[in-house]
């Protein structure tokens, strides 16, 4: 059974679809596409059904990434369906945990920046109201975090370790 990852931001049109696309690319390059599945969601219902923001799509495409998800809202069932739920910032993290008042799934929810290897920030900033530089910064942070996440997964899950 594949490991299932869910990337979560506010609207599911900038940061989380970018993280999903980056991670899918890294997973494919590592030859693990059959062992790791990625999805994304938003804590709000602002953009349900929308494609990723055109500015994020363009910036990602210039890096060879294709973002083709559709926005959806995070729901309680995601706690059961996914092995790791990765919040883009502390607000998203708290919004997710509010849907789990008993704390049953708390250990599945992490900040994506916890996996950064080069950056020290704890939050992926929302680039929605900024310029091109903000989208570039988000992709830089997410590249770092997703690379660290893949390393973590390979070290944590025996089924991802190289077979002799």
Q: CATH number, domain at 85?
A: 3.40.50.2300
Give me the long-range contacts of 54-62 (CB less than 8 A, separation at least 24): 55/14, 55/127, 55/132, 55/135, 56/13, 56/14, 56/17, 56/18, 56/127, 56/135, 56/138, 59/132, 59/135, 59/136, 59/139, 60/18, 60/21, 60/22, 60/139
Domain limits for position 97: 3-160
Q: What is the mean pLDDT of residues 33-50?
A: 97
Given a cut of 60, is residue 1 above it in pLDDT? Answer: yes
Provide the number of structural domains found in the chain.
Answer: 1
Q: What is the mean pLDDT of residues 131-160?
A: 96
Q: What is the mean pLDDT of residues 17-44?
A: 98
Question: What is residue 162's predicted lDDT score, i.e. its pLDDT?
Answer: 65
Given a cut of 80, is residue 11 above it in pLDDT? Answer: yes
pLDDT band at 161 (very low <50, low <70, confident <90, very high): confident
Average pLDDT of the residues of the chain: 96
Which residues are annotated as catalytic? Answer: 9, 15, 126
In this structure, what DSSP letter does residue 158 have?
A: G
Cα 92 from chain centroid (whole Å): 12
pLDDT band at 163 (very low <50, low <70, confident <90, very high): low
Q: What is the mean pLDDT of residues 85-108?
A: 98
């Amino acid at each position: 059974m594949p490991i299932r990852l869910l990337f979560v931001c506010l609207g599911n049109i900038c940061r989380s679809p970018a993280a999903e696309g980056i991670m899918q690319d890294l997973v494919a390059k590592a030859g693990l596409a059959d062992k790791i599945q990625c999805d994304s969601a938003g804590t709000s219902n602002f953009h349900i059904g929308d494609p990723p923001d055109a500015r994020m799509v363009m910036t990602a495409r210039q890096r060879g990434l294709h973002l083709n998800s559709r926005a959806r809202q995070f729901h309680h069932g995601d706690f059961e369906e996914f092995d790791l739920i990765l919040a883009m910032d502390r607000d998203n993290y708290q919004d997710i945990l509010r849907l789990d008042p008993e704390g049953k799934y708390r250990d599945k929810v992490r900040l994506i920046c916890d996996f950064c290897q080069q950056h020290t920030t704890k939050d992926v900033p929302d680039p929605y109201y900024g310029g091109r530089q903000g989208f570039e910064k988000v992709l830089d942070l997410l590249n770092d975090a997703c690379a660290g996440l893949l390393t973590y997964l390979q070290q944590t899950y025996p089924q991802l370790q190289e077979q002799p």
